[in-house]
Amino acid sequence: MKKFLPWIIVALVVFGIYSWGKNFNNTAVEYEADAKTAWSNVESAYQRRADLIPNLVSTVKGYAAHEKETLEGVIKARSEATKTTIDAGDLTPEKMAQFQQAQQGLSGALSKLLVTVERYPELKADKGFLELQSQLEGTENRINVTRDRFNEKVNIYDKFTSKFPGKLLAGLFGFEEMARYKSAPGSENAPKVEF
């Protein structure tokens, strides 16, 4: 029996290392998948906003046809925003910034459109427009919630793959830090309002 004791110890150590590596890998895969799903939810929320815009533009066009430049700006910004997508498996900081920039362009165009609407009291009273505006506001809130949830999932994944000794295995298994959704540059400053 003494003759087999070293082999038993070696087998137990090898099995322990295997189990530790397997558990780390499976947990990291699970956390990464959760973060990717959360990113898909972010994109879905932005897509909902993009889907509301044609109806909003059509409604405004009926009342404010001579606001052609503003309407075209919204349509162009929507086109740019919807063609900028990221594969959930390739969430690099550069691609996240590109995605954010396209979405900010659309947000700016929508803000300009909604300011333009202020000049048309009959449009502001239109039931269809009010419904679309309410849906758009709700969608903007959903976008914010999904971005926060995405960042929470990425945080869990990044902490798990960055702590020692897991960091050693993360590099071995190819798990890399994921990019978070960050606020737009300058968004920390309150907008200037003049009357």
Note down pLDDT in tens along the chain; length 195 residues: 778 888 888 899 999 999 999 999 999 999 999 999 999 999 999 999 999 888 888 888 887 767 778 888 888 888 888 888 888 778 888 888 888 888 988 888 888 888 888 888 888 788 888 888 889 999 999 999 999 999 999 999 999 999 988 898 998 888 998 888 887 665 555 444 343
Q: What is the pLDDT of residue 130?
A: 86
Q: What is the pLDDT of residue 89?
A: 79
The CA R_g of the chain, rounded to the nearest whole Å, is 25
d(CA 19, CA 25): 10
Q: What are the start-end ranges of the E strands in 24-107?
A: none
Indicate the fold that domain 27-173 takes in CATH: de novo design (two linked rop proteins) (1.20.1440)
d(CA 42, CA 36): 10
Q: In 184-193, which positions are buried (b, 16+ CB within 10 angstroms) versus exposed (e)?
A: eeeeeeeeee
Q: What is the pLDDT of residue 88?
A: 79
For residue 61, CA distances in Å to 24, 99, 100, 111, 130 come to: 56, 28, 27, 16, 15
Give the global pTM.
Answer: 0.79
Q: What is the pLDDT of residue 26?
A: 94
* CB distance 39 to 49 below 8 Å: no
Residue reference for tokens 């929507």: 78
* CB distance 25 to 173 below 8 Å: yes
Torsion sign, CA atoms 142, 144, 148, 151: positive
Q: What is the pLDDT of residue 139?
A: 92
